[in-house]
Structure 1
Amino acid sequence: MSGNIDNPRLWEGADLYTGPVGTALPTDLTVAMTTVPAWKAVGLLSEDGASESRDEDVNEFYAWGGRLVRTRRSKHKRQIKVTCLEDNLIVFGLINPNSTVTTTTGVNHRVVKVPKSEKASFVLELTDGDITRRRHIPTGEVVEVGEVSLSDSDIAAFELTITIYPDSADVLYHDYDNDPQGTAA
């Protein structure tokens, strides 16, 4: 059997951070994300983890006789889906952009407005023992929020779908990790 049993990753821990577009990352993986005040943690995440989806149009061109001669790809889209378990101000801002919260004498007043487009930066930080991976999404946007259960039999959770926007060089995101299995030669 070929392969290396040290290569598979089981991401046992994760955090999602958000900040304004252009927010710098900490200088290395040993420096906590929270040392940069602009990065805010969304709080507890569902044990279901995060998932990444890809979507694109693929056109295939065939020569006479049915031989494939060319493929054209367009409209590439990536999204990350994660479920937040906390109803805090960071999550509120992500699911209700352009809305406000004020507190007067211990009473919170949330004014929820029709969502407007609001881009942000995101970092999904994953851990597997001593291995850490930070996926930095310089520009993304929460484009979908799943149904929220308001009951006594299910926890209120906020499933966020984040669309990742490429930069002018077509870069979608950057992964930084200390995984010795992924070290470039």
Structure 2
Amino acid sequence: MSGSIDQVRLWTGADLWVAPLATAIPADLTSPMTSETAWSAVGLLSEDGASESRDEDSNDFYAWGGRLVRTHRSKHKRTITVTCLSDNPVVFKLVNPGSTVATDSETGVNTRTVKVPKSEKQSFTLELFDGDITRRRHFHTGEVTEVGETALGEGDLQAYELTITVYPDENDVLYVDYDNDAANAVTP
């Protein structure tokens, strides 16, 4: 049997970070993505983890006699889905772009004014952990384009399932992974 167990990843923890468009991530993996930077954590994520999905059209072309000679691919779309368990201002803004929160300094009462969602592109980074291995998947441009149903009862946790659509940059780059995984190292 070929292969190595050192190349198998089980992401046992993760954080999702959001920042204004074009916000750079820390220069190295030892520098934390903390509140001292423009990055904000969404908080606790569901144990179900994140999922990445692809959608694209393809059109097959055949020669006379039925032999496949070419496939044309177009309309590629990539999304990331994650469920946020925290109910905080960061998640509120992702779920309700263009809405506001105000806190009365005397009473401590928060007022959330929810408006019809507006398009709001941002930068996202999904930070994954497997023991000493860290991977930061940086999405230069993304947008929450779908929010799942939210349970409001005693039988289920209140959670926000967010689908983030990833937009390519001018060079067709969807995202860049940064990791310290020796199994992925290449030698020149």
Shift of 1:36: 4.6
Greater mean deviation of Cα atoms: 29-38 or 140-149: 29-38
Q: Deviations over 1:26-64 (max 9, x none)?
A: 110000011652100000000000000000000000011
Give 2:15's aligned amino acid.
D
Separation in 1, partners of 2:113, 2:132 = 43
2:75 is matched by which residue type in structure 1?
K
Report the secondary structure of 1:37's partner residue: coil
CA distance in 2, matches of 1:16, 1:61: 41
Post-superposition Cα deviations, 1:59-96, rounded to whole Å, max 9, x if no partner, equal 00001100111110000000000000011000000000
Structure-2 change in CA distance of 1:59 and 1:176 (3 Å): same
Specify every segment of 5 or more residues in structure 2 that has no aligned partner in the other structure, as ranges: none
Partner residue of 2:117? 115
The one-letter amino acid paired with 1:167 is D
- 1:82 maps to 82
Residue by residue, what CA displacement relative to the aligned partner does 1:96-124 show, whole Å, maximum 9, x if unpaired?
A: 00000001121111100000100000000
What amino acid does structure 1 have at the position aligned with 2:170? Answer: S
SS at match of 1:110: strand
TM-score, with length taken from structure 1: 0.99
- Shift in CA distance, 120/93, structure 1 to aligned 2, threshold 3 Å: same
Look up the match of 1:141.
Answer: 143
- Is 1:16 the equivalent of 2:16? yes
- AA aligned opposite 2:8: P
User: Which amino acid is 1:24 matched to?
Assistant: A
Distance in 2 of aligned mates of 1:36 and 1:122: 16
Spell out structure 1 runs of 4+ moving beyond 3 A. Answer: none
Q: How many Å separate the matches in 2 of 1:154 and 1:130?
A: 33
Q: d(CA) in 1 for partners of 2:138 and 2:186? A: 19
Q: Which amino acid aligns with 1:8?
A: V
Residue ranges of structure 1 left out of the alignment (5+ in a row): none
Counterpart Cα distance in 2 of 1:144 and 1:35: 26
Give the superposed CA RMSD.
Answer: 0.7
Q: Secondary structure at the match of 1:34?
A: coil
Q: Which residue of 1 aligns with 2:103?
A: 103
Whether contact under 8 Å (1:136, 1:174) holds in the other structure is: yes
Distance 1:58 1:36, change over 3 A: farther
Whole-angstrom CA distance in 2 between matches of 1:134 and 1:87:
24
1:170 corresponding residue in structure 2: 172
Q: Percent identity?
A: 70
Give aligned pairs, total.
185
